[in-house]
Amino acid sequence: MAEERQPRRDDRPRPDGGRPPRRDDRDRDRDRDRPRQELVLEIDLAKLCADSLYLDNQAHVLVTRLNDMDSGTRSQLRRLYSAVRRACRAPEDERQHQFVMFRARLAYTIARHSLRSLDPLEKLLLQVTRKNELAAYERFRDLFEAIIAYNE
């Protein structure tokens, strides 16, 4: 004689007549209700220009945030890095304009692909552009290069 199978707890009909939610739906709902722990990251331009270890640490923190918070791809970062390198190689009278345009491109990419972890980079770029010094532009490029290296 075949033994009747007892319904599992999740297989039982619900009072509202619907199926119980799938496991991943419940996880998604729980994650949506939980506040996202985000570190406030401000990158100090003066320290960035003066201290290589600070630059390295900030690059590592940004990559960790990128991996934890966002789904940015390596190709997106490499494309942005290529634009930074082009802007650094621009003639001195065009360099600030190139970085201003890069900031617009970075802002678009952050908004379009929800890369909120790169917000500190955009804020730093504003400081660099306002300072308008070759050393600051090169340190920004070095920071971006370190981000590419740590993201691989």
Tens-place pLDDT, residues 1-14: 556 666 555 555 55
Q: For residue 152, what pLDDT band results from cuts at 50, 70 and 90?
A: confident
Both tokens assigned to 115: 């890369």
Cβ proximity of 121 and 83 under 8 Å: no
Model pTM score: 0.71
Share of the chain above pLDDT 90, in %: 56
Beta carbons within 8 Å of 121's beta carbon, 6+ residues apart: 43, 62, 106, 143, 144, 147
pLDDT at 116: 87
CB atoms inside a 10 Å sphere around CB 17: 6
Q: At what angle do helices 74-89 and 92-112 cross, to 10 degrees?
A: 160
Q: Which residue has the tokens 């939610």?
A: 21
Q: Which of 3-12, 23-32, 51-60 has the lowest mean pLDDT?
A: 23-32
**Is the Cβ–Cβ distance between 48 and 54 less than 8 Å?**
yes
Tell me the pLDDT tens digit for each residue of 60-82.
999 988 888 877 678 889 999 99
pLDDT for the residue numbered 34: 41
The two structure tokens encoding residue 75: 């190709």
